[in-house]
């Protein structure tokens, strides 16, 4: 079902090694943006649509042409980094009406803060700079350890970002463009903290070079990026997302830092139930040596497995879902985030799923991008004959929902996870 897109022989430019050796791994064709929910009723006040009206009219009363982009995943034959080919630019990715929230795992930050506190080259009176609100939590911990000069860039005042809905995708672009000006105004920072932003960058080497400018010749960078090794190994296609332009493993991240002229001081990967974070402390290399790009066989096999398994994974999931969907039994996905969007659209499961549950009031009266499956509140678990509920939440949100949401706790059907890493995965 995917093969019509898979024949490209064209080579593209790799954002890591800058060679024209990036090849298409998977081409999913035109895809909707995962934050572009579609009004179920585009003729009036959509928030007043009842659930029954919403479900019965979902496929007839919708905005006909929401924007799309072509989702192509590539891997570089020189440095092996998995990345999106021509990802949509930040102005298209931006959430159209604001309300963006990021849920990054943070339990490991105490360990990171303890390390920095004991790392003597960074003195307590050194300036420490965070790029985005995501860095605020770590900077607060460092402040509590006695670091007195912590600064988080303000989106409006420091980066001149005025657009509604601007998030990390815009911050990475402005930091790259304004690094010289920021350095002049703030001076060099002994430590620049950049969590959960490198993987959103479009001009990766330009962005890393901007961070080096902010840190000056003697400064350090603390970078945190998702370690996608497990996702590639488990063939977790739901993890693909237009906002994540790069999918590092430990090997490709190390290679990338080296290519950027950075020397690793500390490299630690923290593993969470559904995701892993690589946290690295690096500094500019005093001497740059040429980097050899000998590919590793294991890394190659990982990438080939990810490329070759899509169809089998999609079929396996479809078969499992069909076994639940007998008679009037319905299947719901819990959580209307980008993971659910990718799960449904990339595995082509639209016809297997009846509703998506999300209690966010901003998502009521809307349908999922692409699949147009209606989004409904969690009360539907009791009123809609749901036989199977598939969780698509981060691990922390999953715990919160399963312990605090009354409707969910009294749900009589089966509960599974869309994630292949979960012990309760629908794929098992």
| Binding residues for Zn ion (CB under 5 A) | 14, 16-17, 76, 78-79
Beta carbon of residue 76, minimum distance to Zn ion (angstroms, whole number): 3
With respect to Zn ion, which residue has the nearer C-beta, 141 or 255?
Answer: 255
CA-only gyration radius of the chain, Å: 22
Per the listing, tokens 């605020």 go with 136
- Distance (Å, whole) CA 145 – CA 264: 24
Q: What distance in Å separates the CA atoms of residue 396 and residue 103, rounded to the nearest whole number?
A: 9
Least Å distance between CB 7 and Zn ion?
Answer: 22
- In the complex with Zn ion, the residue whose CB is nearer, 34 or 75, is 75
Query: Edge to edge, what strands does the sheet with 246-247 contain?
Result: 11-12, 22-32, 68-76, 82-84, 246-247
Q: Is the dihedral of CA 168, 170, 173, 174 positive or negative?
A: negative
Under DSSP, the state recorded for 407 is H
Cα(303)–Cα(203) distance, rounded to whole angstroms? 23
Least distance (Å) between residue 159 CB and Zn ion: 29
Measured from the CB atom, is 35 or 81 closer to Zn ion?
81
Q: How far is the CB of 255 from Zn ion (least distance, A)?
A: 8
Q: Where are the alpha helices (DSSP H) in 71-198?
A: 90-93, 109-118, 136-144, 168-186
Sign of the dihedral through C-alpha 251, 206, 160, 35: negative
Closer to Zn ion by CB, 10 or 351: give it: 10
Q: Report the C-alpha gap between 53 and 51 in whole angstroms.
A: 5
Least distance from Zn ion to the Cβ atom of residue 20, Å = 9
Q: How far is the CB of 292 from Zn ion (least distance, A)?
A: 13
Comparing CB distances to Zn ion, the nearer of 81 and 279 is 81
Q: For Zn ion, which is the closer residue by CB, 77 or 362?
A: 77
């Amino acid at each position: 079902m995917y093969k019509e897109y898979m024949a490209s022989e064209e080579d593209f430019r790799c954002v890591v090694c800058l060679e024209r050796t990036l090849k298409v791994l998977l081409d999913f064709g035109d895809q909707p943006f995962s934050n572009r929910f579609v009004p179920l009723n585009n003729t009036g006040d959509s928030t007043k649509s009842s659930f029954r009206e919403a479900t019965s009219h979902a496929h007839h009363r919708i905005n006909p042409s929401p924007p799309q982009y072509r989702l192509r995943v590539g891997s570089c034959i020189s440095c092996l980094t998995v990345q999106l080919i021509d990802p949509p630019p930040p102005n298209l990715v931006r959430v159209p009406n604001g309300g963006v929230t990021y849920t990054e795992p943070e339990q490991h930050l105490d360990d990171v803060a303890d390390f920095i506190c004991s790392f003597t080259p960074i003195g307590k009176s050194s300036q420490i700079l965070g790029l985005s609100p995501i860095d605020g939590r770590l900077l607060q911990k460092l402040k509590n350890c006695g670091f007195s000069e912590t600064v988080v860039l303000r989106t409006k005042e420091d980066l001149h970002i005025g657009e509604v809905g601007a998030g990390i995708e815009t911050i990475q672009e402005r930091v790259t463009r304004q690094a010289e000006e920021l350095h002049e105004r703030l001076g060099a920072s002994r430590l620049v903290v950049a969590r959960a932003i490198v993987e959103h960058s479009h001009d990766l080497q330009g962005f890393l070079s901007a961070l080096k400018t902010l840190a000056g010749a003697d400064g350090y960078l603390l970078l945190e990026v998702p370690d996608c090794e497990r996702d590639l190994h488990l063939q977790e296609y739901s993890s693909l997302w237009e906002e994540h332009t790069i999918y590092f493993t430990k090997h490709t991240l190390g290679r990338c830092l080296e290519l950027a002229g950075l020397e690793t001081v500390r490299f630690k990967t923290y593993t969470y139930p559904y995701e892993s974070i690589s946290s690295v402390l690096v500094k500019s290399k005093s001497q740059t040596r040429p980097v050899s790009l000998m590919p590793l066989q294991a890394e190659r096999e990982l990438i080939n497995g990810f490329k070759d398994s899509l169809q089998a994974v999609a079929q396996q999931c479809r078969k499992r879902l069909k076994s639940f969907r007998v008679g009037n039994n319905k299947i719901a996905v819990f959580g209307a985030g980008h993971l659910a969007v990718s799960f449904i659209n990339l595995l082509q499961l639209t016809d297997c799923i009846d509703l998506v549950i999300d209690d966010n009031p901003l998502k009521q009266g809307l349908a999922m991008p692409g699949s147009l499956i209606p989004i409904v509140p969690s009360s539907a678990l009791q009123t809609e004959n749901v036989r199977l509920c598939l969780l698509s939440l981060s691990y922390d949100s999953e715990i919160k929902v399963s312990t605090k949401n009354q409707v969910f706790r009294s749900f009589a059907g089966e509960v599974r996870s869309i994630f292949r890493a979960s012990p309760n995965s629908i794929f098992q």
